[in-house]
Structure 1
């Protein structure tokens, strides 16, 4: 039959066919005996609706069918869905809801297929809600709105049961919570409005109760174990049935109740809090503490503060211990004033620096491992060690102690360490140096001790010396090590001069110094300043000096030689009655001993006159030779101190186990001289910094100039503000700068 001759289908006639299909579908969904839909059944319904929608007006029933679609769904809900739900509660209601929701979605899907033509043409032209949306809206308004509160409460009740350790049907909860999402047609509005706030509120109440119970019963580690376990369970809960969008809100609330609310109580527990964990080296618990408190806002601040307090207190205790040990040794009468006491106290300082290094290694490992190298803990660690390293220890600064420690490592006769151990130890010293505000003071002491090692040929290894300088350069910059590097280079060049001198002696037969003479020639600009005295050298040594002077004049006539006898050493042969021995002494000591070749007995005054030295130097020489371990000279009276009235004579009975002995001079405290030199260099550095800034900026405010000067210099030392202001005044007087005429608070550079 042609299309224009197609039989008109009345609405009642067509809807009767539809009702039969809908009833069959409902029976199938309810599980009643009913044959399955065949393709012929489906096509009959589809074609009927198609024809009813494509008939010419007034027989186009598209609008009526669209309305009947919604009515059919509503009738199904009111007759089958709601009655089945109203008689059930708790988990039974949830299971029925999941079943009914699943059946309803099947019904909507089948009806949407029957009414497909409406969706494709009629609805699109009229901009009406699609059939699927109509179906969801119908269920939402009739079913969801009625049961949502009961459903929400039932779900939360099951979640609480699971929190208490009971087994629940997670798949059931997953399906129910998916309904909250699906009912919003892809939007999270209903889940976030009707379920999530109640979940968060219930979770807060639940964990608030738990926290109140645990905080009174458990130690800090036990509390954290529980907190971490329950947080993992909440994460697991999200992954199994809660929507992923709930995770940050839920965890934030749980963390707030378990950690934020009781943070101070937990961290400050007397016998198990953060202080106790640090004290007892509970590394695993500290790592857990970091993991937990890193998750809450500013949660790490109190932990880092306690860490800083602990490290600072530990360092302070270490300082007190060493100061007590030093005071004890000074008070102990068996330690006489002199070399032995100096050596013993030096051991105290060495042990102290080693303990500081060990302390640094320990807490650096805490920062890296327990606290995951977090910036907050790095800062706390640095502040604690800056406090420790800027403390004075028994009258000595950490700068001096580190320089002395390096000297002990790098000189000969130090405790034998492998090359790797020495390099590792030096690396750790440089790390400690980074915490010291007065790095220039370290440089002053280190340079002085480096000079002593080089000049007395007491350096264990050139490679280690250069390695240390390289590390210092990397830490503090090239200017920091410039003079030290020049010293090493100059010392190497000085050894080359000695080789040339030896070749000169071989070629010139009449140039015989009479002794085995070794001279190190150096440029004074590179080295620390040393006092030079006109020591009356013994004739045996004076001849050698003249020979070297003649040699040096053949090389250059534009440089003057200045002899620093205080830096010289001599090996002399002592003929004693028990046996002949070799004595390793300083040039001063040798000069004093050689006086006894021509005199059996000399007074203090005679020795001082013949040597042409100061009282202090003569006292040190005579004490080392008559009052110390090796008594080469006998003194009258036989006391431990040197007086101008004393007499001395050669001790022919002297003997020792070894045939070759070293007789050191009592140490001289050069601290004052080093500090004076550093203060002088600081004044020069401040002047140079100010001039450099003003030359670059031309015009600058007074206060800004002071600030920039501090910023430039603080990497090497902490400049004194009064010293900067004084330097500015001096530079104004010397016409390097002047007050600006236009702005009385500014300075301008004077070219």
Structure 2
């Protein structure tokens, strides 16, 4: 028959046919013996619905079928599903629920196929909820709403059993929790509100109980082991049955209860807390502490603060140790300085190595711990020892290392490595400019002495290497003078060669004495005293010869002779034997006076040499009261006074053929500090002018802050000093005060 003549199916008859199919489906789900649906069976159901929806009104039963579709689910749930769930409890109820949910989804899938035509046309036109959603909503409203609280409590109770070490069926929990997720149909609200919120509360309570017991009974390392293990297990729990979105919230709860709540009690535990772990080098426990506390908000603050206290205390103890050693050895003054520098600086370097390794390894290079280490070292590195500033100690230490590896005879690699470490320490010293000045004085003195006597520098490579390191650390202006010193010495070597050629080409000019002159540039070297020492005739000839030579090379340079740095080799003809004496130019000038006089008074020597009292006393003491008595003194006391008389000691002898007669050093420390102060005044002036030039108008506070920031790399200027320089610049018309606001300055171009 044609389409138009199709027999109308009325609602009762059509639904009875559908009902049979639905009952058969339910029986299959209940496990009763029923034949499976064939594709023919399925097609007949589909066609019946299709026909009932496409008949002419009033026989279009789309709305009625849509309602009956929902009623089928409601009827099945009320008659079969709910009673079977209500009679079961705990794990059995969970298993039943999982089975019922799986069946429900199968039923939804099959009925959707039967009623598919409704979904395609009727629902779309009327904007009604689609069939799948209707099916799931029935379960949600009838089963889930009634049971979710019971289900949640059963699940949480199993989780707690598992936390206590019992075996549970994880797959079952996974399936139950999937229901909470799926019931949301793409939204997580049901899982979060009906399960997760309570589960998190329970977790917090569980770990809060645990923490209050453990914190009393366990050492800090044991407690941390437990905490780490708990976190690992909770993470594991998520991967097995909780939804992945729970992980951060769950771990946050555990960390809060186990770590945040008792941070201080844990870290401050008397025999096992953070202090004790640092004291006993418990590297593994400290690494664990970092791992745990890095996960909680601001958790590393207290750890880094204890680390800073600990390092500060250890460093301060080293300073005290060095102070004590120094005061015990006050008697033997010479030894103190050597001991202090070598041992103290070496120990500070070892301390830095040790804790830098902690920062890199235990604390994973975290900036907070680098900052703590820096601040701790700044505290005690700037203390100084027994009247020597840290800047001076470091400079002397470098010098000792550079003397062929110092007292320890280090290899080249070891020297390089040690210098690298010294430069790292220099970063913590606030008076870097003072270090630079001491270093220049020491290196200058050493280099000159070494070159003038032996004409070879023991380790130019290391000298250059430390300059490179200092340049990287403190910038070019810091090392420019020192680099100038190195260059000067190279040029001086060439200059000497030219001088020797000049002499061999004009024999009449030869002074008859071997002469080595080192010409230096004034700006690079520390300032040395230059007095008009009255030179002996022999030496005057040398000076003139060199001056003539130097004028052939350059017309516009003025030579200033620094006799205080010179050395001479004299031949002393004594009765027992002739000896070679290595002396300073001052000592040589004094001794040569005795070629023409047998006996001279203090005041005669002073007049003939044209020196100050201080210099004459040092000079005569070294020749008549010290180890080598080249001159005899009357009266023969241990100190020099202005009424003394002196004679050449013709009986002097020594087992050596060649001896060096030392002149006691002058205390340069005061002078260094004065020089540095002067340089600082210039630096502050320059900085203020630079800032004002670019800003034109600036308030007092800001000017001071910018100035401190600019100069901070070299030294910490104090506020009073800056204020003083500002006043000075105002009087010199570089700046003026604002008429209305005296705290504001203007730049005067």
TM bin, normalised by shorter chain, reads over 0.9
The reply to whether residue 428 of structure 1 matches residue 421 of structure 2 is: yes
Partner of 1:438: 431
Write the deviation string for residues 38-64 of structure 1: whole angstroms up to 9, x where unpaired: 111111111111111111111111111
Flag the 1:67–1:578 CA change in 2: closer, same or farther, 3 A. farther
Once the two structures are TM-superposed, the CA of residue 748 in structure 1 deviates from its matched residue by 2.2
Answering whether residue 737 of structure 2 is matched by residue 730 of structure 1, we say no
Instruction: Answer yes or no: is the 8 Å Cα contact 2:575–2:650 preserved in 1.
Output: no
Q: Could you say which residue in structure 2 is the equivalent of 1:516?
A: 514
Q: How far off its partner does 1:553 sit?
A: 3.1
The aligned counterpart of 1:681 is 679
Are the equivalent residues in 1 in contact too, given 2:467–2:483 (CA < 8 A)? yes
Determine helix, strand or coil for the equivalent of 1:572. Answer: strand
Q: Pick the aligned partner of 1:347 from 299, 324, 339.
A: 339
User: Matches of residues 590-669 of structure 1 in structure 2 within 5 Å?
Assistant: 590-595=588-593, 604-605=602-603, 607-629=605-627, 641-644=639-642, 650=649, 652=651, 654-656=653-655, 659-669=657-667
Shift of 1:611: 3.7
Distance 1:412 1:660 in 2: 24
Question: Following TM superposition, by how much is the alpha carbon of 1:697 offset from its aligned partner in structure 2, in angstroms?
Answer: 2.3
Cα drift, residue 652 of structure 1: 3.6
1:434-486 Cα shifts (integer Å, max 9, x gaps): 22222111122122223213322364222322222222222222222222222
Shift of 1:642: 4.1
Alpha-carbon distance between aligned partners in 2 of 1:595 and 1:223, rounded to the nearest angstrom: 84
Q: Which residue of 2 aligns with 1:142?
A: 142
Is the aligned partner of 1:39 residue 2:32? Answer: no
Residue number in structure 2 paired with 1:360:
352
Aligned-partner Cα distance in 2 for 1:512–1:255:
89
Deviation at residue 545 of structure 1 after TM alignment: 2.5
Equivalent residue runs for 1:83-102 within 5 Å: 83-102=83-102
Deviation, structure 1 residue 27? 1.3
Segment drifting more, 490-499 vs 540-549 = 540-549
Q: How big is the shift at 1:575?
A: 5.4
Once the two structures are superposed, residues 381-425 of structure 1 have per-residue CA deviations (whole angstroms, 9 ceiling, x without a partner) of: 111111122213211111111111122223458343333322222
Residue 455 of structure 1 is matched in structure 2 by 448
Q: Deviations over 1:639-681 (max 9, x none)?
A: 654444555653745324x554444332322011011111111
| Unpaired stretches in structure 1, ≥5 consecutive residues | 336-340
Q: In the alignment, which residue of structure 1 is the partner of 2:173? A: 173
Distance 1:504 1:561 in 2: 18
Report the TM-score when normalising by structure 1.
0.94
| Alpha carbons 2:221, 2:272 under 8 Å: kept | yes
- What is the rounded CA distance, in whole Å, between the counterparts of 1:493 and 1:683 in structure 2? 32
Change (3 A) 1:560 1:731: same
CA shift for structure 1 position 354: 1.4
The corresponding residue for 1:382 is 374
Counterparts in 2 of 1:18 and 1:630: CA distance versus 1, 3 Å = farther
Alpha-carbon distance, 1:192 to partner: 0.6
- The answer to whether the 8 A contact 1:411-1:453 is kept is no
Partner of 1:498: 496
Distance 1:289 1:648 in 2: 77
**Match in the other structure for 1:482:** 480
Distance (whole Å) between structure 2 residues aligned to residue 535 and residue 330 of structure 1: 35
2:582 — aligned with what? 584
SS of 1:456's equivalent in the other structure is helix
From the superposition, tell whether residues 543 and 411 of structure 1 become closer, same or farther in structure 2 (CA, over 3 Å).
farther
The C-alpha deviation readout for 1:669-713, integer Å capped at 9, x for no partner, is: 201101111111111112222222222222333333233222222
Which shifted more, 519-528 or 257-266? 519-528
The answer (yes or no) to whether the contact 2:572–2:578 under 8 Å persists in 1 is yes
User: Does 2:301 match 1:301?
Assistant: yes
Deviations 1:10-29 (A, max 9, x none): 21211111121111111111
Instruction: Pick the aligned partner of 2:688 from 690, 694, 716.
Output: 690
- Contact in 1 for aligned 2:405/2:415 (Cα 8 Å): no
Per mean C-alpha deviation after superposition, the further-off stretch among 538-547 and 51-60 is 538-547
Give the Cα–Cα distance (whole angstroms) in 2 for the partners of residues 685 and 350 of structure 1.
Answer: 32
Secondary structure of the structure 2 residue equivalent to 1:166: coil
Report if the CA contact (8 A) 1:578-1:655 is conserved: no
My pick for the range that moved more, 617-626 or 83-92, is 617-626
CA distance in 2 between partners of 1:641 and 1:350 (Å): 33
The Cα RMSD (Å) is 2.3
Alpha-carbon separation, structure 1, partners of 2:64 and 2:627: 123
Q: Distance in 1 between matches of 2:84 and 2:350?
A: 74
**Whole-angstrom distance in 1 between the partners of 2:668 and 2:341:** 17
After superposition, the C-alpha distances for 1:54-99 in whole angstroms (9 at most, x for unaligned) are 1111111111111111111112112221122112111111111111
- Residue 582 and residue 109 in structure 1: after superposition, are their counterparts in 2 closer, same or farther (change >3 A)? farther
Residues 629 and 649, structure 2, Cα contact 8 Å, conserved in 1: no
Decide whether aligned partners of structure 1 residues 242 and 577 sit closer, same or farther in structure 2, where only a CA change above 3 A counts. Answer: farther
Q: Secondary structure at the match of 2:57?
A: coil
Contact conserved, 1:402 with 1:429, CA < 8 A, in 2? yes
Equivalent residue number for residue 697 of structure 2: 699
The Cα shift of 1:577 comes to 6.6
Deviation at 1:602, TM superposition (A): 5.7
Partner of 1:467: 465
Q: 1:128 corresponds to which residue? A: 128
Structure 1, residues 608-629: CA drift from partner, whole Å, max 9, x if none?
Answer: 4544433333333344445555
CA contact (8 A) 1:566 1:588 kept: yes
Secondary structure in structure 2 of the residue aligned to 1:522: coil
Q: Which residue of 2 aligns with 1:338?
A: none
Say which SS state the counterpart of residue 138 (structure 2) adopts: helix
Single out whichever of 523-532 and 101-110 deviates more from structure 2. Answer: 523-532
Question: The residue matched to 2:745 in structure 1 has which SS?
Answer: strand
| Pairing 1:400–2:399 present | no
Q: TM-score, normalised by structure 2?
A: 0.94
Alpha-carbon distance in structure 2 between the residues aligned to 1:278 and 1:667: 45
- The separation in 1 between residues aligned to 2:580 and 2:310, in whole angstroms, is 55
C-alpha displacement at 1:219, in angstroms? 0.8
Q: What do residues 234-276 of structure 1 show as CA deviations (whole Å, max 9, x unaligned)?
A: 1111111111111111111110100011100000011111111
Retained in 1: the 8 A contact 2:275–2:310? yes
Paired residues of 1:267 and 1:274 also in contact (CA < 8 A)? yes
Alignment of 1:135-214 (within 5 A): 135-214=135-214
**Aligned equivalents of 2:260, 2:484: Cα separation in 1:** 58
* Structure 1 residue 580: Cα displacement: 5.3
- Higher mean C-alpha deviation, range 137-146 or range 469-478: 469-478
SS at structure 2 position matched to 1:747: strand
SS class of match (1:524): coil
Is contact 1:601–1:650 with CA below 8 Å preserved after alignment? Answer: no
CA distance in structure 1 between the aligned counterparts of 2:720 and 2:357, rounded to whole angstroms: 40
Q: Is the 8 A contact 1:631 1:651 kept in 2?
A: no
Alpha-carbon shift at residue 599 of structure 1 (Å): 6.0
Change (3 A) 1:723 1:229: same
